[in-house]
Amino acid sequence: MNRVWKRTFLLLLASVLIVGALWLSPLQGLERSTGLSTLYAVRGIRMPPESVVIVALDAASAQQLGVPRRPDLWPRSFHATLVDGLARSGAVAVGFDLLFEQPGDPADDAAFAAALERAGNVVLAERVVRKIVRADGGRVLGGVDRLIRPMPRLAEAAWVTAPFVLPKTLDGVFEFWTFPTGAGGNPSMPVRLFERWSNAYGHSPRYPAGAGDRLVLNLYGPFGTLPIISYADALERIRHGGTIPEAKGKVVLVGLAESNQSLQFDAYHTPYSRSDGVDINGVELAATAVANMMEGSSLKPWHGRQAMALVLGWTAMLALMWGLARAGVAAVLTVVAMTGFGVAAAHAFSSSFVWMPVVFPLFFCPLVVTALGMVFKYRRARGRHRRLQQMLGADRRRGAVDRIAAAFETRPHGRVLRAVCLSSDIAAYTAMAEGKTPAEARDMLNGYLAHFLPIVESHGGDVTDLVGDSVMCLWVVGKDEAGACRRAVAAAVALDERMNARAADGTLPTRFGLHVGDVFFGELGVGDRMEIRPVGDVVNTASRIQSACKPLGLTVLASEAVTRHLEPSTLCLLGRFRFKGKQDLHILGTPFGVRSPAAANAAFTQALSCFSVGDIDAAARGFEAVLQRWPEHRPAHFYRKVCALPAMRDNGAVVFSRG
């Protein structure tokens, strides 16, 4: 496993462990509060089916009818009138979300019971009360559920009686029991009403049939989203011999539905609770439960192992992106992935009623992975920076380290950049080092580098490789290739002046070769054997150009790719050359006229022109003429030899058969 995959695996493992720990903490509850509220806010209000209607027992009706605000104190003869009117209106089923536990006025109770018998489709509410059982010390041992049913006279007259139990949480109400265990596993009121509606329309009821099973409510909107008829208005229309067309063929629920927050007492906090404190009433939740079963739109939550697998899988995917991509790319991919996930979760919630986790995938997972990813990348960058410092010369050369690090720090392994490469080699180093102790050889090289390195750095270059007596330097081109070439050549001329022209203590005779092109600069190696090095054909070619200095008798050579950016008057072109193992020809030149008179260089250039077109005899005579007048002209000596050796020439180019 290479280092990138090893770091990626560690990032993935750390991210999954941290997110998994957060998921198993109370923070998971944010999916019920913040997550579900967000999904509802994105979806907006959803129109309920027309098969359910609510008759509201509200304060306005109490005032209009002249009765107390408490609906349990209203005359039950009113309810008898309402039930008869709803039956005449063609209501499929009627559910009273109101407990008739205590007897009322006997005449009213008798009228109500008679109306219930005539209708034959009314469900009366039961209530489940839990008694907490405690030990002597106050420790809770458990609870005992007690079912409270309507008074016998009304219970017998009704079609059935059934409870409607809403499990409360700190974050509000989200679900209801279809077959609450506290009621002996009998069907709840919404289930009974749904059964009646299904049978009336020839549908097959589909709902969890086991005791204790729950359905998650898919809310339609805030208070008033479901159709509501005022109790007083319904009663007024019935008393005048009319009907309630809104109830025809529908399920009607009668219960407390109050829009005044100060008067609400059968209300529950939900994601649609309003900012003014108005919650959704219990009868609205019962109507929502019935409507959900009619549509088959109850929410299908991802929970337990399914939700955890989604969260951890999502975390692993984000970790892979941060482990394998650059920080900037990983950040963009993370945002894109989060957007895609958010859109998919919102669409699944709206169209398929699937409730997926969103708080963890859109907040905690990206936060954890991004933070860890940045830490891993920072540590890797710092490690690379330290290796650069070791390679380039420790703390006193931080400027060079920063320049090189900036060139490829954002890439995972390094980068390809365009640079001018200067290769140098100490002439006759083997002979000079022979007989010296290792410490003496080290001191000789250190004295040499004390002259060499400041000149390179003062011309904007960076020493990137030191191997024995060879030094490799780079000038990163950026947007100014001509400027980089001129600075590199100026450094080579200054080095030549220091090392070859006016030797001083610590200087050694040196040859230099320059070339420009694309170079890979980054980490090389496997496992723990990693080094930062420049690699590429330009590095090899610069070294070959440097090696051509010796046969030409020169100390500085540069390729035409470099010299074309220099003033022609400062150059002496030396012809075309092909190096061993290479097919490309390189036009070489030297930047200071080989230290010969202008007339000598002009005569040399004329003879070189004959050589380039294959007129070897004329070229040989020309080079001979140059040497007769200027016997120290080293390139003329070299070409006179080439003219005499056919193996060293090919179609006007010099061929080096040895590296």
Residues 81, 210: one domain?
Answer: yes
Which range among 288-292, 294-298, 398-402 shows the weakest confidence by mean pLDDT?
A: 398-402
Say if 631 falls within a structural domain.
no
What pLDDT does residue 536 have? 85
Is the confidence at residue 219, as pLDDT, over 90? yes
How far is 52 from 272, CA to CA, in rounded Å?
19
* Ramachandran area for residue 486 (φ above 0: left; ψ -120 to 50: alpha; else beta): alpha
Which range among 143-152, 282-291, 482-491, 554-563 shows the weakest confidence by mean pLDDT?
A: 143-152
The pLDDT of 590-603, averaged and rounded, is 78
Of the three residues 535, 564, 593, the one that is the final residue of a domain is: 564
Is the confidence at residue 88, as pLDDT, over 90? yes
pLDDT more than 90, % of the chain: 60
What pLDDT does residue 377 have? 85
Domain containing 555 equals: 412-564
Domain count, the chain: 3
Is the confidence at residue 77, as pLDDT, over 70? yes
Residues 270, 324: one domain?
Answer: no
Encoded tokens for 533: 């090095």
Residues 138, 192: one domain?
Answer: yes
What pLDDT does residue 242 have? 86
Q: What average pLDDT does the structure give for the chain?
A: 87
The pLDDT of 409-434, averaged and rounded, is 79
Say if 406 falls within a structural domain.
no
Say if 63 falls within a structural domain.
yes
Say if 110 falls within a structural domain.
yes
Residues 27, 65: one domain?
Answer: no
The pLDDT of 363-384, averaged and rounded, is 87
| H helices present in 300-408, as ranges | 304-324, 327-347, 359, 365-392, 398-408
Neighbours of 580 (CB within 10 A): 11
How far is 363 from 369, CA to CA, in rounded Å?
10
pLDDT digits (tens, 9 = 90+) for 173-194: 888 988 887 667 789 999 999 9
The pLDDT of 79-84, averaged and rounded, is 96
Is the confidence at residue 480, as pLDDT, over 80? yes
Of the three residues 298, 321, 345, the one that is the final residue of a domain is: 298
Neighbours of 496 (CB within 10 A): 21
If you compute the radius of gyration of the chain from its CA atoms, what whole number of angstroms results? 46
Residues 333, 189: one domain?
Answer: no
Say if 495 falls within a structural domain.
yes
The pLDDT of 421-431, averaged and rounded, is 90
| 611 closest CA partner among 590, 626, 599 | 626
Q: What is the DSSP track for 470-505?
A: EEEEEEE-TT-HHHHHHHHHHHHHHHHIIIIIS--T
Sequence-ordered list of residues with C-beta below 8 angstroms from that of 425, at least 6 positions apart, any chain: 469, 470, 510, 511, 546, 547
Is the confidence at residue 614, as pLDDT, over 70? yes
Of the three residues 564, 585, 608, the one that is the final residue of a domain is: 564
Residues 269, 310: one domain?
Answer: no
What pLDDT does residue 394 have? 43
Residues 164, 73: one domain?
Answer: yes
The pLDDT of 506-529, averaged and rounded, is 80
Is the confidence at residue 120, as pLDDT, over 90? yes
Query: Which CA distances in Å does 133 have to 127, 283, 304?
Result: 19, 30, 30
Residues 226, 361: one domain?
Answer: no
The pLDDT of 571-589, averaged and rounded, is 90
Q: What is the DSSP track for 293-306?
A: HHHT--BEE--HHH
How far is 177 from 197, CA to CA, in rounded Å?
19
Residues 123, 257: one domain?
Answer: yes
What pLDDT does residue 528 have? 52
How far is 204 from 475, CA to CA, in rounded Å?
80
Which range among 98-102, 171-175, 183-187, 617-621 shows the weakest confidence by mean pLDDT?
A: 183-187
Residues 539, 433: one domain?
Answer: yes
Is the confidence at residue 409, as pLDDT, over 70? no
Residues 60, 109: one domain?
Answer: yes
Half-sphere exposure of 502 (CA within 13 A, CB side): 5
Which range among 21-30, 133-142, 387-396 shows the weakest confidence by mean pLDDT?
A: 387-396
The pLDDT of 556-562, averaged and rounded, is 95
Whether the CA torsion 614, 617, 621, 624 is positive or negative: it is positive
Say if 82 falls within a structural domain.
yes
What pLDDT does residue 366 have? 97
Is the confidence at residue 521, as pLDDT, over 90? no
What pLDDT does residue 395 have? 41
The pLDDT of 494-515, averaged and rounded, is 88
Say if 338 falls within a structural domain.
yes
User: Whole-prediction pTM value?
Assistant: 0.63
Which range among 260-274, 359-373, 379-393, 626-640 shows the weakest confidence by mean pLDDT?
A: 379-393
Q: Read off the CATH number of the domain in which 507 is found.
A: 3.30.70.1230
Residue pair 65/81 in contact by the 8 Å Cβ criterion: no
Residues 26, 90: one domain?
Answer: no
Which range among 169-178, 180-189, 275-284, 305-314 shows the weakest confidence by mean pLDDT?
A: 180-189
Give residue 384's pLDDT band: very low, low, confident or very high (50, 70, 90).
Answer: low
Q: Which amino acid is at 398?
A: R
What pLDDT does residue 599 have? 87
Which range among 49-53, 336-340, 373-377 shows the weakest confidence by mean pLDDT?
A: 373-377
Say if 436 falls within a structural domain.
yes
Residue pair 146/188 in contact by the 8 Å Cβ criterion: no
